[in-house]
Structure 1
Amino acid sequence: MNLAARDAPFLDSLRTLRCAAAVVVHGSALRAAKALHLSQPAVTRAIQKLEHVCGVALFERGGRGMAATVPGRLVSRRTQALLLLLEQGAKAAHALGARHHVALCSAQHFAARVTPSSLQALAAIALCGSEARAATHLQITPATVHRVLEQLQHLVGVHLFHRSTHGTRLTPAGDALLHRVQLAFAELRALHADLAPWRGEVRGELVIGALPLSVSLLLPTAVDAVFRAHPALKIRAVDGTYESLVQQLLRADIDLLLGALRFPPPDGIQQKVLMEDSLAVVAQAGHPVFALPKPGLADLLAHEWVLPLPHSPAESALHRAFAQAGLPPPTSRLYAGSPTLTRAVVLQTGRLALASLAEALGPEAAPLCIVPIPLPQTVRHIGMAWRSEGETAADLTSLLDVLQGTYAAAKPGPKKWLHRSAAITPISMSQSGAGQALSLAYTGAKP
Structure 2
Amino acid sequence: MDLRHIDYIRVIAELGKLSAAATRLGVAQPTLSKILSRVEDEFGTKLFNRSPHGVTPTPFGSAFLERSAVMERELRDLHAVSDLLASGDRGQVRIGAEQSWLFSYFPTILSRLYLKRPGLVVTVESGTTQDLSRLLADGKLDVCCQTFDDPPISVFSYEVLYKDSVAIVGRRGHPLSIESDLPAILSSDWIVANPEGSNTGYSWLVQIAHQNGLPPPRIAVRTQEYHLILKILRTTNLLAAMPYSIARASAKELSLIRLTSPPRERSTGLMWRPDRPTTPAMKIFMEVTREVNSEYHASENGVTAPVI
* TM-score between the two structures when normalised by the length of structure 2: 0.77
Greater per-residue strand proportion: 2
Matches within 5 A, 1:103-122: 114-121=1-8
- Matching of residue 217 in structure 1 with residue 107 in structure 2: no
Aligned equivalent of 2:72, options 163, 182, 192: 182
Contact 2:181 2:259 in 1 (8 A): yes
Instruction: Go from structure 1 to structure 2 and tell me whether the alpha carbon gap of 1:308 and 1:251 turns closer, same or farther (over 3 Å shift).
Output: same
Structure 1 or 2, whichever has the larger Rg, is 1
CA distance in 1 between partners of 2:186 and 2:99 (Å): 24
Q: Secondary structure of 1:372's partner?
A: coil
The percent identity for this pair of structures is 23
Kept in 2, the 8 Å contact 1:160–1:173? The answer is no
- SS of 1:120's partner is helix
What number of residue pairs does the alignment pair up? 299
Q: Please, which of 104, 116, 119 is the counterpart of residue 229 of structure 1?
A: 116
Q: Distance in 2 between matches of 1:151 and 1:323?
A: 65
Q: Residue 382 of structure 1 aligns to a residue in which SS?
A: strand
Counterpart AA for 2:277: E
- Larger helix percent: 1
SS of equivalent to 1:376:
coil
TM-score between the two structures when normalised by the length of structure 1: 0.56
Judge conservation of contact 2:81–2:277 (CA < 8 Å) in 1.
Answer: no
- Asked if the contact 2:174/2:255 (under 8 Å) is kept, the reply is no
Contact 1:122 1:149 in 2 (8 A): yes
SS at match of 2:192: coil
| 2:83 aligned residue | 193
Q: Is the 8 A contact 1:279 1:356 kept in 2?
A: yes
The aligned counterpart of 2:193 is 308
**2:232 aligned residue (338, 345, 349):** 345
Which stretches in structure 1 are left out of the alignment for 5+ residues?
A: 1-113, 424-447
Measure the CA separation in 2 of the matches of 1:153 and 1:374: 69
In the alignment, is the contact (CA less than 8 A) between 1:278 and 1:375 conserved in 2?
Answer: no
CA drift at 1:310: 3.2
1:279 corresponds to which of 151, 166, 173? 166
Q: What secondary structure, in the 3-state scheme, does the structure 2 residue paired with 1:276 have?
A: strand
- Measured in 2, the distance between the counterparts of 1:135 and 1:245 equals 35
C-alpha distance 166-386 of structure 1, shift in aligned 2 (>3 A): farther
Query: Structure 1 161/405 Cα, relative in aligned 2: closer, same or farther at 3 Å?
Result: farther
- Look up the equivalent residue of 1:407 and give its one-letter code: N
Match of 1:361, SS? helix
1:106-163 Cα distance to aligned partner (Å, 9 max, x none): xxxxxxxx3122222355468x464566555533456655654565465456887799
How much has 1:302 moved relative to structure 2? 2.9
- Provide the rounded CA distance (Å) in 2 between the counterparts of 1:169 and 1:268: 35
> Secondary structure of the equivalent of 2:170?
strand
C-alpha distance in structure 1 between counterparts of 2:35 and 2:73, whole Å: 21
